[in-house]
Amino acid sequence: MIALRPMALLALLGAPLQCPSRASPAMTREDRPDDALWSLSERFGHDGNEAARRATLRYLIERYPTSRFSERAALALDGAVPVDAVQ
C-alpha cells in the first residue's frame, strides 16, 4: 500500500500533461457546415448532378456569406471555373 502512494502521486502530477489542449483552427479536422456543403457540391459535380451542385452552391452562398467557400462558390456558379478547379 505504501509503494502505491508514490505511484498515485506521480500519476496525478502527470495528468495535466496528458490532457488535450485546444487545437488551432488551422489544425481542426472537424467539418463545419460550409465545409460540408462545399464537399457536397464537389461530390454532386463529380457525379454529374449539375442541378444539385448549383443548388448546393447557391445555398452555401446564401446561408454562409462570410464563409471561405462563398467566393469560390460564386465563381463556380458563374461558370468561370469548375468546382474542383477552384482552390
Q: Which of 31-35, 44-48, 64-68 has the lowest mean pLDDT?
A: 31-35
For residues 46 and 10, the model is more confident at 46
Give the confidence band of 79 by pLDDT, cuts at 50, 70, 90.
confident
Compute the average pLDDT of residues 55-67: 96
Number of H helices, E strands in the chain: 4, 0
- In single-letter form, the type of residue at position 33 comes to P
